[in-house]
A and B are shown apart, each in its own frame.
Chain A
Amino acid sequence: MRNEIELEGIIEDYLNGKLTEAEAQAFEQLRLTDPSVDHKVVAHKVFLESLNDYAAVLDLKHQMNQAHAQIDVEGLSKKLGPHPSFIVNLWRKNKAAIAVAASFILLTIVTIYSIQQTTQQTGTYEKLNKEMNSLRSSTNSLIRNVKSSHSVKPNVNPGKFGGTGFALSSNGYILTSHHVIEKSDSVYVQNSKGESYKVKMVYSDPVNDIAILKITDSEFSPLAPLPYSLKRTSSGMGEKVYTLGYPKDDVVFGEGYLSSRTGFNGDSLAYQVAITVNPGNSGGPLLDNRGNIIGIINAKESNSDGAAFAVKSKYIAEALNAIPQDSLVRRIASTKKNQLQGLKLTKQIEKVQDFVFLIKVYK
């Protein structure tokens, strides 16, 4: 035991370099001859190194803890740490994923949009006033002159542009589309019998595409009471409708149904009507099968057949309010009952056609 304590003391001194040179040499000799001593030296060396490292690290940790105590960790955390907001964190951590998702969504939107584009009404909006073929119309008017020789005012100068209009009152107020008489020099109306009367414009509303004309001709004799009435409320889809108009020099009947509550590209001023109309139908009345005027034909879509547009009748009522009320004799009624109700379509047409006029415009 004592020997071993002595030995360890020597080993320690040897490792720490405390032995004299002679002692060290003697000890190294001992190591060479006695492997057990050599083993003890090596083991003790490793152990002492470990212990020294341990001490050093412990010391270092102590120093670092002191340094750490000087740091305002909480303040730094607030500045450097992740944002407390969940959203911001999500954004910071998933920037890449969000970017991918966003571009995917963008791509999808673009794709859907381009698909929708093709389903939109791409046709252009074509107003239905008619540029008359002058040769043909002069022939027609000649024929009409022969037929109706009693016509006081034979119209030698044929109209350049034409449209349709209909009576708003017995004393010659006539409603048509604004675009029909736009920029006109003079305007005449011609009834189904071929009689022409000069008119003047008394009201025009380019926004709603409505114009009101007044027959100023002294030859004009008041009309019978109007057979139709004006519907102020809007009509539903699928409503059977018909129109009378002058796409040619004689009145032409067209029938269809109301296909949409909005007009071209969602225009809420108008209805879309599935009806075959042609240039010249502009300004024509759109009637439902109970004899109510529900709109004024004013345009069609150029690319597709049977998609026409009609200004809603409530704007007619608004236009009527712009006319001095006492000047309207036996004006159009807005009652639900009228002369046409319950009549067969052919009878209705027969009655209505006397109140529908060809508008002839000279520019």
Chain B
Amino acid sequence: MSNKLSSSVPTDREVVLGILNNSEEALNKLYTGYFPMVLQFILNNNGDEDDAKDVYQEGIIVLYNKIKSGNFELTSKLKTFIYSVCRRIWLKKLSQNSRKTKDVSDFDDIISVEVDLEEHEEKDQRFEKMQSALLNLGEPCKTIIQDFYINNLSMQDICEKFGYTNTDNAKTQKYKCLQRLKKLFFQH
């Protein structure tokens, strides 16, 4: 019953090297290459296209972090790894929604990915904490922090962007924002 996935898939080596070199093209190829596989799995196991997108992106993040962390070894095919990770994530979501998880229709081999997923869950929790902290931070703090830490703007740029009279004022403002953000982030 497994439909052959016809999309062109990059080799595993290409993907790993591409991600290590921050190649956008490699990520694109990876993403489009294996999405149909996960879509098929989710659609045939009580999910829809949006579920497939969420689960697949989470799976790719797991793979991405694993490759980036440097201790990635190709012990199985990337395909199998992605499938196993996405499968595990989806089954967990299903059981959380107390939907039935018996009789899973499988389309590929499965390997054990428990350790990877535990790591991922920790990271995911921090991600969500940061997300909600930033959300609760409010403007202009949120933008200042994002500009400085994420978009790597200099204090000078921020000073001009927000119309502060001098960089010291900007620094003080950033400091206050950061303290509040840290408080929000660590209190949970």
Residues of A in contact with B (beta carbons under 8 Å apart): 1, 4-5, 8-9, 43-44, 47-48, 50-58, 60-61, 63-64, 66-68, 70-71, 73-74, 76-77, 79-82, 92-93
**Smallest beta-carbon distance B105→chain A, Å:** 7
**Smallest beta-carbon distance A143→chain B, Å:** 87
Q: Do B35 and A71 touch across chains, with their CB atoms under 8 A apart?
A: yes
**Smallest beta-carbon distance B141→chain A, Å:** 13
Q: Do A58 and B185 touch across chains, with their CB atoms under 8 A apart?
A: no
Point out the residues of chain A lying under 8 angstroms from B3, CB to CB: 79-80
Q: Do A63 and B57 touch across chains, with their CB atoms under 8 A apart?
A: no
Q: Do B49 and A5 touch across chains, with their CB atoms under 8 A apart?
A: no
- Measured CB to CB, the nearest residue on chain B to A63 is B27
Give CA–CA (A9, B44) in the complex, Å. Answer: 53
Q: Do B27 and A51 touch across chains, with their CB atoms under 8 A apart?
A: no
Q: Do A64 and B40 touch across chains, with their CB atoms under 8 A apart?
A: no
Residue B82 lies at the interface, judged by CB distance under 8 Å to chain A = no
Using A61-B57, A82-B43 as known contacts, list a sample of 10 further A-B pairs with CB atoms less than 8 Å apart, ordered by residue number in A. A53-B123, A53-B127, A64-B57, A67-B27, A67-B32, A73-B49, A73-B53, A77-B49, A81-B39, A93-B105
Point out the residues of chain B lying under 8 angstroms from A47, CB to CB: 182, 185-186
- Measured CB to CB, the nearest residue on chain B to A97 is B103
Given contacts A47-B185, A79-B3, contact A55 B43 (CB under 8 A): no
Q: Do A63 and B24 touch across chains, with their CB atoms under 8 A apart?
A: yes
**Which B residues between 117 and 140 are near A, CB-CB below 8 angstroms?**
123, 126-127, 129-131, 134
**Smallest beta-carbon distance B185→chain A, Å:** 6
Q: Is the interface of A mostly helix, strand, loop or mixed?
A: helix
Q: Do B103 and A43 touch across chains, with their CB atoms under 8 A apart?
A: no
Q: Do A53 and B105 touch across chains, with their CB atoms under 8 A apart?
A: no
Q: Do B36 and A80 touch across chains, with their CB atoms under 8 A apart?
A: yes
**Smallest beta-carbon distance B72→chain A, Å:** 16
Point out the residues of chain B lying under 8 angstroms from A70, CB to CB: 28, 32
**Smallest beta-carbon distance B126→chain A, Å:** 5
**Smallest beta-carbon distance B172→chain A, Å:** 6
Given contacts A60-B61, A64-B31, A71-B32, contact A80 B39 (CB under 8 A): yes
**Smallest beta-carbon distance B59→chain A, Å:** 10
Q: Do A80 and B105 touch across chains, with their CB atoms under 8 A apart?
A: no
